[in-house]
Structures are given as structure tokens and as C-alpha cells.
Structure 1
């Protein structure tokens, strides 16, 4: 199952892969602004002889046609950075852009997939089928994958595979369990309206601050008292803006939060209950409520056949000790939009190393990766494609 030429090519090109990652890290671009990154990717694929096309506005799709007929497997990497100020002051490749940083590993994902493309190109004539390379913008705002799907990124694809670097796991480990991996991630916005007035005359007012406070406290009982305890769910209020001045009773309150779960029926139930709780809490005090519910990413549910293949590839390429079980995370990942279209799976590759200070949480200003993990990720990409097409 493991192609030794691919393994050798990944090792031979490891230094180049690391240099590409450092270049991308120092030049971060935010969601839907990945113009330089996508041009670099396009040019790199073209130089490899891989047919590439751009998608609007900043995506790239490459197609490597094998020397024999067969199926088509897609490999996906995301490219966008975050609005985070980098705190790694001693890095030679520190971000050059104030307030922008690759704080989630997308620079590594892009570099690993380019290395995988180069390795697969070296065995092009032996490949029975095609490998499609998807370089996706705007994962951090959960809209990039959907746009890529709409522009034909997985049209005609038989299987799709993605990887995320994972700082919470040791370097060179691989996790890809069948079933739930990442939760659906939705946003809710609630506008509560009361009747403002002087802080000394509360009896003549309807206090939106009291309504909002009561709503936030009541909200948690949606999960604790209306959902099966065996169905994981999280409802979090992250923002609340109430009132205008210390001695004025608030007329308006704005609340924003997120809902995370794995089960579609649970998702529907929480959306309905948010409306019920908001309206009834406001009504107790004589106010009104308006709820906006925005569906973001779907849950990432790994297909069993694909996830089993990932584990088999990792076991043969890196050894039994590389495999570990990672419990599902309530984090969101828009890779789910590809899985809505075709079978596949999404793996985590560990990059945490306390000796290199790379165990910081994703999205933190000190986030960094152990670059030794990139060989694992690049080879996993390439060997998975080879294994799927030759199995």
C-alpha cells in the first residue's frame, strides 16, 4: 500500500516544504484576501506540470492526471490566516503584517499539500486515476469550502481527504476516527427591546438589561434540561451589549453567541428553543425579542471506509505507535461542505512538542508548529491518494 518513491520524495523535499511554510507564515493573508498565496500555489503547481485553475476570488484547484484510467481522489488544504497579533518575537519568519498571523496552521497545510503534489507528480505515470488538489480560501469564516464546491471543486470526485495540524497532540501522531470529528457551528443574534427611562424611576420602564441577564441565565437550561444527555451540545453567549449610560435604564440589548453539536435533530431543536426562550423571557418583563439564527458549518462526520484507510496508511507509513484516538471536538471546520457532496474523511496530525514550545492553543498569538510534523502530514496526503486509487 505504501509507495516508497513517494516516501523518498517527501523526505528529499522536506527542506523546501519548510521554507515554503516559513514564507507563507511571514506573509499572512486574511480570508478572501489570499491573492499572493493563491498565485504562489498556482505557479508552483504549473511548474510541476499539474493543470491548475483559479476559482473566484482566491482559490486554486489542481488536477494531476495519472498514466492509467481510474477514480478521482481530492486532497484539500486551507490557506487563510487570522486577525491575530503574533507574539512569537524571536521567530526569523515572524509575520510581517501587524494584526495578522497564521495562528491555526493553514500555512503548514498549504505547504504540506504542495509537497504531496510534487511527490505524486514523480509517480504520475503509475497512478491509476486522478488526484485533485484543492487549495481553499476563507476557512476561518466558514464560507470558503461552500464557494469551492459551488465552483466545481469536487465535481466528479470519488473521495475527499483533508488534514489539520493539531498542537494538542504529540508530533507525528495521526488521528482519524470514523464518525463525528468536528461539530456544526452556528451563530445566533438576539435583539431584546424594553422601554428606557431614568434610572431613578424603574417603575415607568422595562429594563432590557434585566431581560438580557435573565435570558443568558435561562439559556443554559436548553442543553441541561431539554436535550438528551447523551447528545453533546454547547450553547455559548460570547457578546452582550446593553444600555448607553450609567443612570439610564436600557431600552435595547444585543446578544450574540454560538451553538455547537453533532446531531441534526439536536441542532433544529436548539434553534427552535432559542426563539421560545427569548420571546418568553422578554414577555415576562413586558419586552419583546427578535432572534436571528445563522447556520454555519455542518458537522464533520468521517466515513468509516475512508477513516479506516487513513489509519491503515498511517500504520504502514509511520508505525502502529503513530495512531491515536482523538475524541470529537466542538470546534467547527468547513471541510464538512465537501463531505456533503462526496465520501471522505478528515485527519488530525499532531505537532505539539513542549521542547519546541509548540503546544499553544490554535488561534493564540504564540501558536507555532513543530515543523517535523510536516513530513507526516505531507506523506499522509500523498500516500492516502495513492492507496485510495490503487486499492
Structure 2
């Protein structure tokens, strides 16, 4: 059956490319994936694979095998980003101004659809069943939770996902046990001072100075209060303050993100953010209000699952396919599925200098080497088959 899967995926190589290009040209943002959901539903109907529409978008489908066994879930995310497509010369460039599949979710969806086609064609040989999760709003870090709340992980024994990765050479596969993606949180800090004339600072409390001091001192949370062997990043991405060149600002607002792998480190940084903000504000005679929102958890690959991905990858593509990619500080809400079943999340390389596909994810020139689509589709299908066969 492994050879059957490989040959069946290769026979659909052009199809997976065309599916991805169709999706790429019609991007939809988080929670707005109405046309994308309809496209997936129509494809599954043609295969006669039963599915259920989720609210407000997304689909969960089921391929029931001809023999009893466990249930493995395969997940693909379907949303795009509010990024302007810069690859306007492409025949399949985004047709929607200000929206683009700049992270590869179009590829994930296309790969899982083709894998579903192949798995469905051999369903009588499956020992168990395959759940297909087409998830919305990954970029909003809330789509996985919504799917779980609507039963996407009910009775699932194992879960597997893939992300196309432009930072890796095309067709390389990385899936190691332990941390893969970091937790990703958002913080907002509002400083309140007392405004006034720029020429009379002694009668004012300058919110811009408070915010600036906070930004500069904030980095010492990581550099001086966290074990250097425990990775963490604190970034301020936005700061707004003031209204005019000669007016001392009464208010300043900033927002940023926190990334790390360890829950204890996450707790510590959240506590320290409030500590620093309140003390900086107090130093200057102002006030601070901190809002800390927890986003995705860290993606921690289960050891046995990651080992199976590696085994499947080597069996299907040869020993040179494996790549030891270091954990990334990027966030992924696939982490929430791992609260309900063991599993793993693999990276499939799509970076090719000759094809100009090494641009960073979320960049307006992001694109993928479409040779990687066949690899990803096969990895989805081969993993599902191997997992069900082994258990």
C-alpha cells in the first residue's frame, strides 16, 4: 500500500498544484473563509466523503476504513493574511487587494485534499478511520480552539499536521521530539501621565518618556531574569504616543508579543511585564494598565509520534530527506489539538533559491516551490496509513 499511495499521489501532482493555485488566487482572512469552505465541501462531495461544516467556517470530514481500528486526525489550516501580494507577475497571484496566502495555508489545504482523495480510494484497506480537519483562523490563534469546541477531536487517538517551510530546502522534512513552535502571547500597556506644553515639562508627566523607558528596560526581563538556556523573546511591535511636536503626551500605548517554550517562563514573563510597567510609571509619577492575552501554547511533539514521522519519511523518500530544524519562536495553534491526543507537527521544506521561494513567511513575496506539494500530500497519507497499520 505504501507504493500505491506514492504512485497515486504522483498521478495527482498536477491536480494538487492547480488546487493550491486556485486557493492562492482567492484568499480569505480568518473567520471569513466562506468560499474556501465551500470549495473544500464541493471537493469532498465529489469524493463522497462525509463531512460537517463548522461555525462560522471550516470543515471536519471522516474517512471510515473497512476494518476496525483507531482514529487518526490530519489537520490543515485554510486562512490567509492581510498582506499585499507582491508577486503580481504570477498567473495565480491574489485577486483580492490587501489579502494573500503569505504563509502556505493554501498549500496545506491542497495537500490534505489530495491526500484525502488517495486515502478514500483505499479506505477498505484502512484499519480504523481518518479524520480530516480543515481549520479556519490559525492566524487569529483561535481556530483550533473553535474546532475542538465543536467536536473536531472527539474520539481521536492521534493527530498530525504539516507546515510548508520556506526556510528549509525543498522536500526536506523536519519533525523532532520536543518543542517545535513557541507559545505566542500578546500584551498591551497603556501609560497615563499629564499632558501640557512642550516648553514647560516641569508641569507635566510625560507618557512618551514612560513608554520609552519601559521599552528599553523590558529587554532585561529576558537577559537578566531568565536562564540563558531557556529561550524567550519579548518584542514591542507598536508604540503610539503624542499628538503634536510641541505637546507633551498625556497617554502612550504600546503592544507586543512574548514567545517561549516553557510554561514557567511564560508565567514569569507575564508577571514581570506588569512589575516593570507599574514601577516605570511610578518612577515618573504616572499610571500603567497592562493587558496580557495568552495566545497559542507551545507545540511539543510527542516522542513516539515524531519518531514515526521520521520513519515514514525515510521509508518514502530516503534517509537524506530528514533535516534537523531548530525550534522556531513562531506560534502555531496546532498546539491545542495536542491537549486532546498525542501527535506531532512536521515541517516540509519549500525553499528554492532558483525559484525565488526562500522569502520569509508573511512577506508579500512569499511563495513556495510547488514540488513540495507532492511531498506534503504523500506525507499526510503515508503517516495516516502507517499509524493505523501499526496500532
Alignment TM-score, normalising by the size of structure 1: 0.99
Q: Which of 45-54 and 316-325 deviates more? A: 45-54
Secondary structure of the 1:218 match is helix
Task: For residue 6 of structure 1, report the CA deviation from its aligned partner.
Answer: 1.1
Give runs of aligned pairs for residues 122-137 of structure 1, distance below 5 A. Answer: 122-137=121-136
Equivalences for residues 92-103 of structure 1 within 5 A: 92-103=91-102
Tell me the residue number matched to 1:296.
295
Q: CA–CA distance in 2 between the matches of 1:9 and 1:52? A: 23
Q: What is the aligned partner in structure 1 of residue 341 from structure 2?
A: 342
Q: Hey, what does 2:186 align to over in structure 1?
A: 187
User: 1:135-150 to 2 correspondence within 5 Å?
Assistant: 135-150=134-149
| 1:45 positional shift | 1.2
Asked if the contact 1:192–1:289 (Cα under 8 Å) also holds between the matched residues in 2, the reply is yes
Task: State how far apart, in whole Å, the 2-side matches of 1:38 and 1:380 are.
Answer: 23
Moved more, 154-163 or 199-208: 199-208
Q: Whole-Å Cα distance in 2 between the matches of residues 185 and 164 of structure 1? A: 17
**What is the CA distance between 1:40 and its match in structure 2?**
1.0
Which runs of structure 1 show a deviation greater than 6 angstroms over 4 or more consecutive aligned residues?
A: none
How much does 1:201 deviate? 1.0
TM-score computed with the length of structure 2 as normaliser: 0.99
**Paired residue for 1:88?**
87
CA distance in 1, matches of 2:50, 2:72: 15
- Provide the C-alpha distance between the structure 2 equivalents of 1:224 and 1:180, rounded to a whole number of angstroms: 21
**Whole-Å separation in 2 of the counterparts to 1:201 and 1:28:** 52
Q: Is the 8 A contact 1:5 1:123 kept in 2?
A: no
Map 1:15-26 to 2 at 5 A. Answer: 15-26=14-25
Q: Equivalents in 2 of 1:239, 1:380: separation in Å?
A: 39
Alignment partner, residue 11 of structure 2? 12
For this pair of structures, how many residues does the alignment match? Answer: 390
Bigger Cα displacement from structure 2, 130-139 vs 195-204? 195-204
Q: Does 1:355 align with 2:354?
A: yes
CA distance in 1, matches of 2:5, 2:120: 9
| Structure 1 residue 243: Cα displacement | 1.1
Alpha-carbon offset, residue 245 of structure 1:
1.1
How far apart are 1:114 and its partner, in Å?
0.4
- For residues 184-208 of structure 1, what are the alpha-carbon distances to aligned partners after superposition, in whole Å with 9 as ceiling and x for unaligned? 0000000101111111111111111
Q: How far has the Cα of 1:17 moved from its partner?
A: 1.0
Q: Which residue of 1 aligns with 2:210?
A: 211
Aligned to 1:115: 114
Task: Determine the structure 1 residue equivalent to 2:62.
Answer: 63
Matched position secondary structure for 1:71: strand
What corresponds to 1:160 in structure 2?
Answer: 159
Q: In the alignment, what sits opposite 1:309?
A: 308
Q: Would you say the 8 A contact 1:10–1:115 is kept in 2?
A: yes
Shift of 1:338: 0.5
The aligned residue for residue 256 of structure 2 is 257
Q: Is the 8 A contact 1:82 1:140 kept in 2?
A: yes
CA positional deviation for 1:97:
0.6
> 1: CA distance between counterparts of 2:174 and 2:243?
49
After superposition, where does 1:267-286 map in structure 2 within 5 Å? Answer: 267-286=266-285
In structure 1, runs of 5+ residues without a counterpart are: none
Query: What secondary structure is seen at the aligned counterpart in 1 of 2:154?
Result: coil
